[in-house]
Amino acid sequence: MDNSYPLLIKPASGDCNLACEYCFYLEKTKFYPQYKRHRMTQGTLEQLIQSYMAAPQSQYVFAWQGGEPTLMGNTFYEKVTDLQVKYGHPGASVANTLQTNGTLISDELACHLKHYNFLVGVSLDGPSTLHNAYRKNNRGRGSHNKVIKGLETLRKWGVNTNILSLVTSANVNFPEKVFDYFLSMGMVFQQYIPCVEYTKKGKKQPWGITGRQWGNFLCRLYDNWIDCGPEQVSIRYFDELIKRLAGEKAGMCSMGKDCRQYLVVEHNGDIYPCDFFVAPKYRLGNIHTHALSDIRNSDLYRTFGLQKSGYHPDCTICEYLPYCGGDCKKHRDMKTSKDHGGKSYLCSGYKQFFQHALPSLEKLASKKDVPGGFSEF
């Protein structure tokens, strides 16, 4: 296991100014009923940055997520960069990423993000009719207009920005429309994430998608991407597949063999192995009481990470396993195995896409001329 690792930080936990129906993280605040308002304190922030930057690494990656991390305000991120400067050391670099719904971006915050070279991902699910289907505020009103305003503010200040689009039942049948919409805005760094949400009984949620839908979406999106020119637009999943085919290590944890890619830090300093698995039974410790090196070497973290390669028997003989990695553990059928060894709900879709796209992806990998531009998250 590589000794370097990023931190995925939830400074406002699952608190958010929106109430997107499909958000998996809003409910995480139930694990902290003693707090009405979840905000990382200055003491926890300083302990986090000091502890992390004390470990020998060539680069320190801070990924700020939520909930909605901009609820912390500009003063918080000014403190972040002050502490990174304070605890930094010669020869090391610091990278900050921020994933936001974009609705609270002020000129002051955008100016600071630009000054310290933050890479900002804005969540946008396509044109207003598609985006507003599930990305709504507490009053049930769509958020599209405010997201666009925030995105414009970021671009006005020259902040490095990419788009993260969640593929739901609302937009899964319109890949060309979504892709062309982002291109019309000049957004050439795009990321698409499948919405895989099922009830405890295995019934698909209304906003979730099926494997067949995901396969159709990827094939159509890929064809549009090829027609546009891969050298012109970066779609993270396709870029990562090309890296894998070129013999490089892919950056998406779902494609790997081990789930020890990063650590999640909650607002109070609690540490977890993955934000999909923030729950008491997965808690690894707390930044105030545990050294990060001890957590990284703990049996609990090791056991969690190695479950990723506990594949379903069909996966072990599948020619596409090197490319899908068995998919994210969250997407596997948990009813079939206690160690997350079931098949991915999206398995059929991935097979459909690989059959469609692998030959041309292999040609692109031989050229290795597709642009990058994404962080680990």
Residues forming the active site: 275
Q: Closest Cα to residue 146, out of 175, 181, 122? A: 122
Asked whether 334 and 196 are in contact (CB, 8 A), the reply is no
What is the SS3 assignment for 166?
strand
Residue 133 structure tokens = 């289907």
Rounded to whole angstroms, the Cα distance separating 56 from 261 reads: 17
Beta bridge pairs of residue 118: none
CA dihedral (247, 250, 253, 259) positive or negative: positive
3-state helix, strand, coil in the chain (%, to 5): 45, 15, 45
Residue 201, amino acid: K
Q: Give the CA dihedral 315, 317, 320, 323, nearest 10 degrees.
A: 70
Q: What angle do CA 315, 313, 205 make, to 5 degrees?
A: 65
User: Which residues 6+ apart lie within 8 Å of 260 measured at CB?
Assistant: 1, 5, 273, 296, 301, 302, 304, 305
Rounded to whole angstroms, the Cα distance separating 29 from 266 reads: 10
DSSP state of 366: H
Question: Locate tokens 């990827």: which residue?
Answer: 218
User: Which residues 6+ apart lie within 8 Å of 161 measured at CB?
Assistant: 119, 120, 121, 122, 151, 154, 155, 187, 189
Rounded to whole angstroms, the Cα distance separating 243 from 237 reads: 10
Asked whether 286 and 268 are in contact (CB, 8 A), the reply is yes
Residue 58 structure tokens = 């060539």
Beta bridge pairs of residue 368: none
Distance of CA 37 to the CA centre of its chain: 24
